[in-house]
Amino acid sequence: MIPETKYNLRTVVTAGLALLCAAYPARSQDNNENDVHTLDKYVVVANRYEVPIDKVGSSVEVLESFDLEKGSQSFLLDFMREVPGFYLRNNGGPGGSFGITTRGLNSNRPTVLIDGIKVSNPSNGQIINFGNLYGSNISRVEILKGPQSSLYGADALAGVISIQSNADSLGGTIELSAGSFDTYEASFGYSGKEGPLSWSFNASRYDSKGFSSQPPSFGPEWADDDGYENTTFSTKLDYQIGENSELFLIAYYIDSFSEFDPGTPAPWLTNPNPDNYSENEQLFARLGGKFQISDNWNSQVSVAHSDVDTISYTGFAYVSDGDRYQFDWQNTIELNEQWTLVAGAEYELEDNRTDIGDRDNQSYYIENVFSLGDQLDWTAGARYDDNSAYGNETTWRSSFSYRIENINARLHGSYGTSFQAPSFYQLFNPTYGNTTLTPESGKGWDFGFEKTFADGKFVLNSTLFGYEIDDKINFSFTTSQYANEEFYESEGVETSAIWQLFDQFRLKASHTYSKANYEDGTEAERVPRNIYSLNANWRGFENKLGINATLLHVGSQRSLRTSTTRQPDYTVVNLATQYQINESYQVWVRIDNLFDEDYQEIANYQTPGISYYTGVRFTF
């Protein structure tokens, strides 16, 4: 059963809401008059240093503070659903098992970085659950699509998601909210600066009684609500040791508890366990320095540690614990006005405490960034990885961006190779592991056209993409072990449009078409052919009132590879409104699933019906 601490948080949130509603702010900050979204100018993830986004050849999406605040959602999972090329799903409510499909790749997870720290589970290779990451702790998300192993190594076959935690604005923030399913949330953040030292601290707590993640009609063991708790802390320290050099320390801690149902009834599930839960404790930390060696040479050195401990209990305990240490040395050298060189070395040590063994990886990478005149930018890079468990891999990537200035348009594209390594679980689990597994290897490409109209108020971007993957790792029901298959391919097109109709009103729409097949021609599971999203945001009354509406339509998809059953399509509409009472005090209301759509993201797992939430945000 979920711990009783939820009721303490309920008291805190209820009392806090009452106090904040009655209190007048003692201190104010500048009124935020810049909430109207503008396209960002720079991106870091594409070349591992700051580059104007119109010079980047690979497809990149950026979620800024505006995108992370307009919908008043709690977790990153819900912000990511609108990203073209992505399909996110989880089995049940908050904290449920999380899955992601990127450009038709149904089991290839992108590399996820939080402030430069690789945060996947070192033991089983699972991507971090976006349903555990607070939006209020995040200031920016950069999403790099396509094969990216030439810059980021193993597991970047499906791209890279780089998350930056809050640290920019000075001052403090308190947020309190409550809503459906006995949900209560509280968070606190504070940032400051004293001489050469800057710091920030964020703490969040979320408790929800939840709902039954599977149909109660399955039996009494399925009829109870599945609760979820999450406690998160993050901190950043930065110390300037010169005009252009600094030392930094970053730490991120997540402690979560979630209940789940026994699974889909079947002949072998004759006596399901009534008490099923998962505990997850994650610690990520990074220490390093950034140094300016000369006018044209910047260097960065860091060491990072990831410690992920999970236990799932369903009649017996399944443990997945592991550590990862990363050492990284990166250099950015501006050789001349047209040529910038990025080169570095990494060492990674992974320790699996669940099954057997550990492994280390040495890697070296180089990226050449060329500005060939005012219109053309071209990159070419490669990377060598040598892993003690599965051997060595060499990958490369090239990209271009060509601006056609007389028509306000741009062509961009990329082609590269990548690989995804088998996890410890897939290699060494005594029951299901297979020590003969080899890494998946893939090649991918994309080609896009971007055009602006009406003095930049309307931006259209359409990108074709394709992947071919050899030795794809899947679970074989014939051998009851993981095995390499010979071939998997996906292709499609993603299109997005942003229309700033006037200063107070913006429309954003996207469509993704994906098609993926195994070598035998069977359609890949968990790959919707069509996904549509539409977002409308209006701000008025001197920018104090904001109304945000989002529509997401997900087309039908094959639910399991071994079944011809298809999950039906669905459409979900969310609505949120915010009101800035004064410079320090904001209230908001959110309605999820406005039309009470009955749908499933994963077969036989329920999703919440219409639900309501309200909260306050106080800055000082």
> DSSP assignment, residue 81?
T
The total number of residues shown for the chain amounts to: 620
Residue 427 CB coordination number (10 Å): 23
- Measured in degrees and rounded to the nearest 5, phi and psi for residue 150 equal -65, -20
When divided into structural domains, the chain yields a total of: 1
* pLDDT tens string 145-163: 999 999 999 889 999 999 9
Say what the pTM is: 0.92
* pLDDT tens string 79-137: 999 999 999 988 877 788 888 999 999 888 899 999 999 999 888 888 899 999 988 88
Q: Which pLDDT band, with edges at 50, 70 and 90, does 38 fall under?
A: very low
The answer to whether 304 and 285 have CB atoms below 8 angstroms apart is yes
Q: Could you list the residue range(s) of the whole structural domain that residue 561 is in?
A: 5-619
Closest CA to 60 of 161, 165, 164: 161
Q: Strand pairing partners for 401?
A: 377, 412
- Residue 269 pLDDT > 80: no
Rounded Cα distance, 390 and 316, in Å: 31
Pairing of strands 545-554, 530-540: antiparallel
> DSSP assignment, residue 3?
-
- Residue 24 pLDDT > 80: no
- Residue 22 pLDDT > 50: no
Per-residue pLDDT, 515: 96
Rounded Cα distance, 158 and 111, in Å: 8
More confident residue, 428 or 173: 173
The answer to whether 525 and 558 have CB atoms below 8 angstroms apart is yes
Residue 209 CA to chain centroid, in angstroms? Answer: 25
CB neighbour class for 332 (10 Å; exposed up to 12, middle 13-18, buried from 19):
buried
Tell me the mean pLDDT in the region 559-563.
80
Which two tokens mark 392?
């060595």
Q: Which pLDDT band, with edges at 50, 70 and 90, does 270 fall under?
A: low
Per-residue pLDDT, 471: 92
Least confident of 37-46, 160-169, 273-282, 521-530: 37-46
Which two tokens mark 438?
């080899």
More confident residue, 16 or 528: 528
Which two tokens mark 200?
């920030």
Mean pLDDT of the chain: 89
Which CATH number covers residue 369?
2.40.170.20
